[in-house]
Amino acid sequence: MFEIFILLFFLRRSLKIEEKFYCIFVPLIHFQGLSLKKQFVSLLRFILYPFSLLYDLVTRIRNLFYDLGFFKSKTFSIPIIAVGNLSVGGTGKTPQIEYLIKVLQNNYKIAVLSRGYKRKTKGFILIDGTHTSDDVGDEPLQFFKKFPKICVAVDENRVNGIQELQRKESIDVVLLDDAYQHRKVKADCYILLTKFDDLYTDDFVLPTGNLRENIGGAKRAHIIIVTKCPIDLSSEKQQDIKRKLNATSKQHVFFSSISYDNKTSGKLNIPTEALNDYEILLLTGIANPAPLVSFLKAKGNEVHHLNYSDHHQFTSKEIDVITTKYSSITSEKKILLTTEKDYMRLSNKISSLSYLKMSTKFVEGDNQFNASVKSFMKVL
């Protein structure tokens, strides 16, 4: 066992793995009070480490071939802005896309193109009022319902999707949702998101870590946004993070936080300040519900949290469990609350459902960010 520990130590030094990531390996020798589930996940990730090395090699070769031109990237006559991350989910792409829409929609005809994750259809679909989340996915449907003046489409083939949008609509700019690794399209602006408490520099590639590609992929970004920061993040901490990210002189680094609406929507319209009087059954199927849970609990609420996987497709049996759980709450003031994204999938299944909108708010430098994005827009 000691020999294993020494081996892991030198692996950590040779690969420059951060202390946070090193804790993935340590539970093999010392579980440090982790739950049984976390122990199992940590052990499994350690066992899969050789596959991470192979995956890293494959993604490096793929990126190299694109960089050298062996694999071709399609360029377009209109600006393409790609928003994404190195890690798998939970960085706040949806509110960031919405922020970009708000910045650009008054001056440009915008189209948002997504693959439509977990939809039950294939190919290109230009979303209209007849479509459901099963047809197009929850996030694209959310964009369509919140911003009726823009075009929203889904296509797993982004090149074809952009071409179809240009053929069917008169558009000035395309926002690509979750397309940082989709190199078949050459974007004019790449916006890379990383979470404040889970920076990509502290992570490793799949399946041992959560990165879709190694941290060298960050060099493609024109703008890096550290998301889900405390709103009062100090300048000193910002500088520490910038040093850790080691951005180039041509990259702009910004810091954003989550802002929640001042009232709930859906079945009940309750001011958030009054939620402390309510017993809450919180239903989430997103990658990272922790900020919402913390927000609600900070108000002194009694929160019962039913947590499902990201983009979870709820079965009839699960819906029955949820509604039964809500009915069992005896408090006169109660609310069945979910996220806006989950509401897109559940509103036609649970009539008593309410949701809380969220948005991106920059800690500082929002005008500078807006100007940076607009600088990538070509003269139309």
The predicted-structure confidence for 242-271, as pLDDT tens digits, reads as follows: 999 999 999 999 999 999 999 999 999 999
Residue 37 has a pLDDT of 64
Report how far residue 252's alpha carbon sits from residue 372's, in angstroms, rounded to the nearest whole number. 8
CA distance 66 to 213: 14
Residue 14: pLDDT above 80? Answer: no
8 A C-beta contact, residue 140 and residue 128: no
C-alpha dihedral, 48 to 51 to 56 to 57, nearest 10°: 160
Q: What is the mean pLDDT of residues 11-32?
A: 40
- CB burial of residue 284 (10 Å; 0-12, 13-18, 19+): buried
Q: Which amino acid is at 363?
A: V
Asked whether the beta carbons of 215 and 60 are under 8 A apart, the reply is no
Q: What is the residue extent of each domain of the chain?
A: 2-68, 80-259+361-374, 265-356
**Closest C-alpha among 65, 84, 61 to residue 187:** 84
User: pLDDT averaged over the chain?
Assistant: 90
CB 63 within 8 A of CB 217: yes
Q: Are 362 and 229 in contact (CB under 8 A)?
A: no
CATH number among 3.10.129, 1.25.10, 3.40.50, 3.30.1450, domain 265-356: 3.40.50
Mean pLDDT of 318-345: 96
- The yes-or-no verdict on residue 29 having pLDDT over 70 is no
Residue 4 has a pLDDT of 38
Nearest to 104 by CA among 379, 357, 373: 373
153-157, 197-201, 296-300: range with lowest mean pLDDT: 296-300
Nearest to 192 by CA among 215, 220, 224, 214: 224
**Mean pLDDT throughout 324-348?**
96
Considering the segment(s) 80-259+361-374 as one domain, its CATH architecture is 3-Layer(aba) Sandwich (3.40)
356 — pLDDT class (breaks 50, 70, 90): very high
- Per the DSSP assignment, residues forming a β-bridge with 281 are 304, 336
Which pLDDT belongs to residue 18?
39
Mean pLDDT for 210-219 is: 97
Cα–Cα dist 246/194, whole Å: 13
pLDDT at 206 over 50: yes
pLDDT of residue 78: 96
Say if CB 268 and CB 365 are below 8 A apart: no
The helix/strand/coil state of 370 is helix
- pTM of the complete model: 0.87
pLDDT score for 89 = 80
Does this chain's domain 80-259+361-374 share its CATH topology with 265-356? yes
Can you tell me the distance from the alpha carbon of 216 to that of 213, in angstroms, rounded to the nearest whole number?
8
CB within 8 A of 66, min separation 6: which ones? 73, 183
pLDDT over 50 (residue 348): yes
